[in-house]
Structure 1
């Protein structure tokens, strides 16, 4: 999966012949899973039509501060566009546009959005050889770099003037590759390995029945997605769930029982930097599993149970430098019980859930957690989506390695 997947890209197109390549660039962004909005300078519409780019991006194309054919004359909010974006790409970036970017000459919507952008900005120069090498252009490159913008280097090749040399806008495939490589290099958890458990475990009674719980696995899968988006290599060990995940940084291992999850965790634990035990593992399992389906005969039926192995405690016993995070689902004396679990299981951080909190618990899209670290610092959080809680958990990990 591309690091651009899910990213919101604001593409600015200025008036150069290379603008015709932006149709392919938008298509590649969409193929990578990005969301794209396009701003065109008025001059760029001489080289490619807004209709083409609107069709490919699946969004209206903006080129002026308001639409003259709109009877209500609703204005295009440049600030809103800029703040929407996760990154801004200006391609082609002509000498004229770069000069305006340097000097703040805000006479079109593209420059207004650029000056309002708080996200990373990339620009792909495109112009003839002599223009590319001119002192003023070189000065623009240096100034834009000083401002924190990233240049996507021009390529050598045939130019519109008939000359051949440097100044040709990077090909769309190379622009995408540049963005992916640059974004990946800046991911805060790149190079880290994270083990995550998710979902319930099922403990067989007979070939038909089992002991389980209501965990959906969503929290663990959301944590895995978030970790991969931050560059981590993830081993996701999941009990039975309906969720799946498609990311080449995530290795999904499906298990059924607590013993299978125990074995998988111990197989990988030595080689990870972080372990997050988000699974709702059964505390007990039947002592004897019937080979055949148990018939409904007696009025009362007793199942003898025995404890399962405590996965989190066993990892705490053998951990070296791993950052170990556990979950606690409590119904009473929540803080005290969570602190005891930190001590007993040698945890660095615990994520406390309380079934007393509305909107928290199994099978819900939201969660309300309290973070407690090994020094017993208590940090209650508001009710949030499980995706947002996953972000909060990963921020704790990023801060740990900062």
Structure 2
């Protein structure tokens, strides 16, 4: 049964050109078996009509008038309380900057904001606005406030906007919103488990000004941390330098160098069930860091580098080790390199992605949506996952193909937030299977 079957969903529609997408969201939710009610702000009615949503949902549409408690064809009062009690989830899509600001500050000046204040249902919002409005510090602060109040933020996406500009601020695609809502109703597949996740790059100092680094943004690791948190896990996120906002409701440790990350990881392993290493850890560090800025006095400069410890290999070699998931960002021989890393480092799972080329496969799926290069500094990725199974740290052979991974799965190009949810589901499944296999063989 679909997780949305028989669920009571309120869609809140605010003013914005993206309101037309809410019609498709309504249709898709009903097809998934949900019972849907629509609440529109006055501004929303300037973009789409209540009649459209009444026809799609099969129910009268609630909207605002002077007393904020009207319904198309019905003047019954106290609708905000009735809807608040009825709803299993409220999704505001699109969520305008104005409505986000109202909700962040607890205002209840229309039916939608009053309903949200009165409801204990799952609450989600899908921002949609001009890129400059989205980037404004007030908007960002308001979104953080909502997330801190246990709202789930869905998007926005990057792409061509109705104003003709290009940037972040597009409402998330309906399929992505639907996936997020489905996830809201899934029981926590990692409920009560302790996860340690590394993300981002590491910087190795050359002198007080310069460093050796890499192009990792941390996006994939942060998305996985949020997906694990939403799946019920107790998450510790250890991150190298990143411009990304720190996810809420998890333990966060900021580090800079590979050595700092190693120390943070090893000190976090007590009671850890699953370790996921998405960080792009520097393989080498400068042997002798200059205490003062190096001056440009010579035509050539040589740096002596020394190898950093392999953090994931250290974790995988522990006698009482967690379930260990590694990442392989490759530019060539992606599959073979990932398989070799899985075996060489004695991992339970490896997640491979090609960071060398743009996503040519998805170029024509939606001409309005920008789908940049997959991998580093992109909202998109494509993953190929391989896994094995262990008993007492010894890999179980693949009976059909000895020497090959026990299993594999490919995830097509999608937003990293969406891939993270799928990957966490797979990790939870394989962790449980591995644990069951271990218990059966040691009984």
Secondary structure in structure 2 of the residue aligned to 1:219? helix
1:348-381 C-alpha deviation (Å, 9 max, x unpaired): 1100012344232211111111111125133232
**Alignment partners' CA distance in 1, 2:411 and 2:11:** 36
1:319 Cα deviation from its structure 2 partner: 5.5
Taking a change above 3 Å as real, the CA distance of residues 80 and 55 of structure 1, as seen in their structure-2 partners, is closer
The question of whether the paired residues in 2 share the 8 Å contact of 1:184 and 1:190 is answered with no
Number of residue pairs the alignment of both structures matches = 266
Secondary structure in structure 1 of the residue aligned to 2:280? coil
Taking a change above 3 Å as real, the CA distance of residues 55 and 315 of structure 1, as seen in their structure-2 partners, is same
Taking a change above 3 Å as real, the CA distance of residues 80 and 389 of structure 1, as seen in their structure-2 partners, is farther
Question: Is 1:372 aligned to 2:386, yes or no?
Answer: yes
- Tell me the residue number matched to 2:346: 346
- Tell me the residue number matched to 2:246: 245
Query: Pairwise CA RMSD of aligned residues?
Result: 3.7
The question of whether the paired residues in 1 share the 8 Å contact of 2:199 and 2:221 is answered with yes
**Alignment partners' CA distance in 2, 1:172 and 1:75:** 21
1:219-268 C-alpha deviation (Å, 9 max, x unpaired): 111111111111111100000000123422x1111000000000000001
- Most deviating of 290-299 and 323-332: 323-332
Taking a change above 3 Å as real, the CA distance of residues 196 and 336 of structure 1, as seen in their structure-2 partners, is same
- Tell me the residue number matched to 2:377: 363
Question: Is 1:190 aligned to 2:176, yes or no?
Answer: no
The question of whether the paired residues in 2 share the 8 Å contact of 1:357 and 1:368 is answered with no
1:188 Cα deviation from its structure 2 partner: 2.1
The question of whether the paired residues in 2 share the 8 Å contact of 1:228 and 1:247 is answered with no
Equivalent residue runs for 1:190-209 within 5 Å = 190-209=191-210
Taking a change above 3 Å as real, the CA distance of residues 361 and 8 of structure 1, as seen in their structure-2 partners, is farther
- Tell me the residue number matched to 1:277: 277
**Alignment partners' CA distance in 2, 1:253 and 1:229:** 19
1:271-325 C-alpha deviation (Å, 9 max, x unpaired): 2111110000000000000001111011010000000110010000016352210
Matching residue within 424, 429, 439 for 1:394: 424
- Tell me the residue number matched to 1:224: 225
The question of whether the paired residues in 2 share the 8 Å contact of 1:189 and 1:232 is answered with yes
1:269 Cα deviation from its structure 2 partner: 1.4
Taking a change above 3 Å as real, the CA distance of residues 254 and 74 of structure 1, as seen in their structure-2 partners, is closer
**Alignment partners' CA distance in 2, 1:341 and 1:396:** 19
Taking a change above 3 Å as real, the CA distance of residues 188 and 290 of structure 1, as seen in their structure-2 partners, is same
- Tell me the residue number matched to 1:24: none
1:11 Cα deviation from its structure 2 partner: 7.6
- Most deviating of 196-205 and 322-331: 322-331
The question of whether the paired residues in 1 share the 8 Å contact of 2:37 and 2:57 is answered with no
**Alignment partners' CA distance in 1, 2:186 and 2:356:** 42
Question: Is 1:176 aligned to 2:120, yes or no?
Answer: yes
Taking a change above 3 Å as real, the CA distance of residues 185 and 354 of structure 1, as seen in their structure-2 partners, is closer
**Alignment partners' CA distance in 1, 2:409 and 2:202:** 29
**Alignment partners' CA distance in 2, 1:193 and 1:251:** 11
Secondary structure in structure 2 of the residue aligned to 1:324? strand
**Alignment partners' CA distance in 2, 1:283 and 1:263:** 16
**Alignment partners' CA distance in 2, 1:186 and 1:74:** 30
TM-score scaled by length of structure 1: 0.58
Question: Is 1:262 aligned to 2:262, yes or no?
Answer: yes
Kindly name which structure, 1 or 2, has the bigger radius of gyration based on alpha carbons: 1
Structure 2 unmatched runs, 5+: 1-6, 13-35, 61-72, 75-82, 89-114, 124-149, 151-183, 359-372, 389-397, 399-404, 434-443
Equivalent residue runs for 1:35-184 within 5 Å = 38-39=37-38, 54-55=40-41, 76-78=55-57, 176=120
- Most deviating of 221-230 and 377-386: 377-386
Taking a change above 3 Å as real, the CA distance of residues 185 and 219 of structure 1, as seen in their structure-2 partners, is closer
